[in-house]
Chains A and B, each alone.
Chain A
Amino acid sequence: MRRIAFVIPWYGPDILGGAEAEARRTAERLCQAGLPVEVLTTCVRDLRADWGLNYHRPGVVEINGVMVRRFPVRKRDRAAFDAVNWKLMHNQPVTPAEEQIFVHENVCSPALVDYIGKHQDEYIFIFIPYMFGTTYWGIAACKGKALLIPCLHDESYARMGVFRQMFTWVQRLIFLSPAEMELACSLYPWVDEVAVLIGGGVDTDFTADGEAFRHTYGVTAPFILYAGRKDHGKNVDLLVDYFRRYQAHRSNAVELVLIGGGALPVEVNHHAGIKDLGFVPLQEKYNAYAAATILCQPSLKESFSLVLMEAWIAGTPALVHAGCAVTREHCQRSNGGLYFADYSEFEACLDLLLSHPALRAALGANGRRYVMENYRWDIIVERYCRLLNGMRFR
């Protein structure tokens, strides 16, 4: 069997982010299953670092049993990239010339691209996610042979001509959820022939102690948990706004507890009923899921949502944003959570969930069953093995 290489812009045991965690956990699990897995990445530290700066040494290292090959990045025109990226972030149209700037001044390692081109008959390359230079130039170097886990969202990047073209160069597209696959088929109608639904793997064997969390952090009231990065892209400001309105309308003692990186505005941090605990260790995150009355996932841009799955494993019901097709679909398929499109629905859902403990328990149990039936690691590894064993190359 060919070696399997996950290609990702940055890689490390402590790097946060959905795609990064998905790649790391999948690589490690496939490696544990006996598959010859490697990771090809750059020397850049992470998403927030300078993409033209080599933080790690080039070469081969082993991380949690997986061989990782790091390649140096080249200098880039950051200002030119940022100007185009600013337009894309604000949903403004960009010209084909600006799209070229976007991919040329993205994170890129010529050595990595060269390595992919030279060794394309020895590996099965799995690129993740879609919008970085390592993916665009890497797939271009092994056209027709690459697998791509796009981690696709409904956003301006997904409509760029360069990425539409890139999606024609892949042999297989791996999706983490049915809604993500549906979005891809609507954006790029030809991909349904190469689309494969695998899903994301979830650690289902963790233990969680809700009482320990409440004791450690002094949380006594019922609480809504938000777990994840606290930034605008995750829609956390909407959750805070809705929660404050809910507090103003209702007298019930419910709190909002946030865990994860990033920071809330100072005035929000001092608001009664809102507790920002920052980054917490893994076990305490699990304990938080078990202690929470409801997990709220307000993000509109999810291709899987691991926190939703982990909360369900802990038996906690979910409340998600109806505007995110992926999380809404998870709730509908599992019958494990409710969804809101505006404040009125948020308020009604909270009223209902807070006043019906048996409903919460039933939703949590449904969610747990859904994860156990669809996203256990042994199921995901089996799906990857079937896909990789069935690959044929010219």
Chain B
Amino acid sequence: MSEWLQIDEEGEIDVEEIMRKIKAHIAQHRLMEEGGQVITPYFEGRFPQALYDELLEATQEKDRTHVALQVTRSPLPVVGWIVDTLRRKVHELVVFYINQGAARQIAFNDHIVRAFSALIEELEHSEGTRAEIEALQKQVEALQARVDTLETR
């Protein structure tokens, strides 16, 4: 049911945070069903929350480009059904070609979302490396200071 979501029922309820968790869960679930890559983490990562939210939206929207047939009825008496039939045929033809383009767009969107996810994941993991570089820089500065002191003696 909803074991995936831990709610602190004693604490303050934040509806927007609950909705973010629900959306993230759905996106992860979808990606896993598709055998795709799971984008993590969604929360409390090193980047602003807006970045994760946008990525989540992109994950959910990436394949929503198909165009459905939408033909409204003609109000014309007697010949209305002929107009409707013609309209439907023309719309079907247009939608056929649009959906071919949309399928390519979906594939492209998928690559982009996966590339961004991989990039963010890589950057998340490189947090340790950055800390090491900063520590080494501090060591170099300290050693430089000691060398300067020795040289002035």
Q: Which residues of A contact B (CB under 8 A)?
A: 83, 86, 90, 92, 252, 331-332, 335-339, 344-345, 348-349, 351-352, 354-356, 358-359, 362-363, 366
Contact = CB atoms under 8 A, between A and B. Distances in A.
A4 to B, nearest CB: 38
Contact of A335 (B5, B7, B13, B72): B13
B15 interface: yes
9 contacts: A83-B75, A332-B16, A335-B12, A335-B15, A338-B18, A349-B22, A351-B1, A362-B13, A363-B15
Nearest to B15: A335
B54 to A, nearest CB: 16
B9 A348 contact: no
B36 to A, nearest CB: 16
A112 to B, nearest CB: 31
B15 A337 contact: yes
Contacts of A335: 12-15
Interface string B5-49: 101010011111011001101100010000000000000000000
Given A348-B2, A348-B26, A351-B1, A359 B7 contact: yes
A363 B13 contact: yes
Contacts of B1: 252, 351, 354-355
Interface in B46-60: none
Given A331-B15, A332-B15, A351-B2, A362 B9 contact: yes
A336 B14 CA distance: 9
A348 B16 CA distance: 14
Interface centre among B9, B15, B26, B72 (most CB of A within 10 A): B15
Given A83-B75, A90-B72, A359-B9, A352 B18 contact: yes
Interface of B: 1-2, 5, 7, 9, 12-16, 18-19, 22-23, 25-26, 30, 72, 75
A348 B5 CA distance: 10
A352 B72 CA distance: 39
Contact of A345 (B15, B16, B22, B72): B22
A83 B16 CA distance: 43
A359 B7 CA distance: 8
A344 B9 contact: no
A372 B72 CA distance: 45
A337 B75 CA distance: 42
A362 B75 CA distance: 51
Contacts of B72: 90, 92
Interface centre among B2, B14, B25 (most CB of A within 10 A): B2
Given A345-B22, A345-B26, A348-B25, A355 B2 contact: yes
A355 B6 CA distance: 12
A366 B13 contact: yes
Given A86-B75, A351-B2, A344 B15 contact: no
A234 to B, nearest CB: 21
A194 B5 CA distance: 45
A338 B7 contact: no
A356 B7 contact: yes
Contacts of A358: 9
A82 B82 CA distance: 22
Given A335-B14, A363-B13, A344 B26 contact: yes
Contact of A356 (B2, B16, B22, B26): B2
Interface centre among A252, A338, A352, A358 (most CB of B within 10 A): A352
A352 B22 contact: yes
A26 B145 CA distance: 77
A338 B19 contact: yes
Q: Which 5 interchain pairs have the tightest Cβ spacing? A: A358-B9, A351-B2, A352-B2, A348-B22, A344-B26
B125 to A, nearest CB: 29
Given A345-B22, A356-B7, A359-B9, 19 more contacts: A83-B75, A86-B75, A92-B72, A252-B1, A332-B15, A335-B13, A335-B15, A337-B15, A344-B30, A348-B22, A348-B26, A349-B22, A351-B2, A352-B7, A352-B18, A355-B1, A356-B9, A362-B13, A366-B13
Contacts of B23: 345
A179 B26 CA distance: 27
B21 to A, nearest CB: 9
A336 B1 CA distance: 22
A92 B25 CA distance: 38
Contacts of B2: 348, 351-352, 355-356
